[in-house]
Amino acid sequence: MPLDVFVIVLCAALVHAVWNALMKADQDRLTLWRVIMTTQFILSILLLPFVPVPDAAAWPYLIGSSIVNIGYVLFLSQAYRSGDLSHAYPLARGSAPLIVAVVSIVFLGERLAVVSQIAILLIGLGITSLALTRGAAGLRDWRMVGYALGTGCFIATYTMLDGLGARAAGSAHSYVVWISLMAAAAILLSILAIQRGRAAPVTRRTRVAGIVSGLVAYAGTWGIIWAMTVVPVPLVSALRETSIIFAVAIGVVVFKERLDLARLASIATTLAGAALLKFSR
């Protein structure tokens, strides 16, 4: 993987971890999502005059990804509500690159070197194993497991749609702005429908966290979608999910979470996969 792509995807993974940490600190996650999506919708409107309209071939991917993003947000919220973040998040994020790799190779004809396949496997297993580092008891809640793995399927689906759509759009930058606009609108409408008549006032803390999260997530999405037009989608998907390593670091430093040998082993496995990706094609 070229060094510039590697660095940009790692930076995107870092900002992904930052906004997820902000989400973890906020109890009203649907309202936080609402602020995040409002921020991204407004930013996309402001950027529209500076990018071309995507080519016609990209519109099925834009529409499909927008719909899938609704399922992602709703399933992720339910996964967090059904179980601990430390169990749900690794299952969701770790399963996604494995699904992307299998579907890309078997159904989309993507060709990956053996080194790349090993790297993706290490990253997926390393991240997923973080769900077991606090014991297997949390995984007995099949409702949480179902929502987390369902979230992983949605992540994998919108990742592949965005990778293919950005390549078909004629411009990765155009695709980023339009998918951010359409997905934000779709998610906002869904959240407003769910919260109709029951939405609590937005606190200053949630508003600030939502705006910051929306901006950094936008930048991360831009980097990821551009990268998927340069290198194979499964490689970008796997490296992006190393965000869980940054999330663990933030948890230890900011939230004073415990870091034991089991978690260190999971992190080491993930980092070994990331290192292999740097030298893969």
Query: Residue 83: is its pLDDT beyond 80?
Result: no
Evaluate if residue 71 carries a pLDDT over 70: yes
- d(C-alpha 218, C-alpha 177), whole Å: 9
How many percent of the chain have pLDDT more than 70? 89
* Residue range 201-229: mean pLDDT, rounded: 91
pLDDT of residue 24: 65
Q: If pLDDT is split at 50, 70 and 90, which confidence band does 155 have?
A: very high
Give residue 249's pLDDT: 80
Give the rounded percent of residues in the chain with a pLDDT score beyond 90.
42
pLDDT for residue 42: 97
Instruction: Classify residue 74 by burial, with Cβ atoms within 10 Å: 0-12, 13-18, 19+.
Output: buried
Question: The pTM is what?
Answer: 0.88
Give the pLDDT confidence score for residue 230 in this predicted structure: 93
Q: For the chain, what is the mean pLDDT? A: 86
Read off the pLDDT of residues 236-264 as tens digits, 9 standing for 90 and up. 999 998 888 887 787 777 767 677 787 78
Burial annotation 2-18 (CB, 10 A radius, 16+ → b, else e): eeebbebbbebbbbbbb
The mean pLDDT of 62-78, rounded to a whole number, is 90
Per residue in 121-152, pLDDT tens? 999 888 888 777 655 555 556 777 888 889 99
- Give pLDDT, residue 68: 95
CA distance linking residue 212 with residue 35, whole number of Å: 10
* Per-residue confidence band for 50, with pLDDT thresholds at 50, 70 and 90: very high
| 244, 270 Cβ separation under 8 angstroms | yes
271 pLDDT higher than 80: yes
Q: Is the separation of the CB atoms in 83 and 138 below 8 Å?
A: yes
Is the per-residue pLDDT at 194 higher than 90? Answer: no
Q: Which two tokens stand for residue 2?
A: 């070229």
Chain segment 87-112, per-residue pLDDT in tens: 677 888 888 998 999 998 888 888 88
Q: What is the pLDDT of residue 67?
A: 95
For residue 145, the model assigns a pLDDT of: 80
In this prediction, residue 133 carries a pLDDT of 64
- pLDDT given for residue 106 in this prediction: 86
Q: What is the pLDDT of residue 137?
A: 53
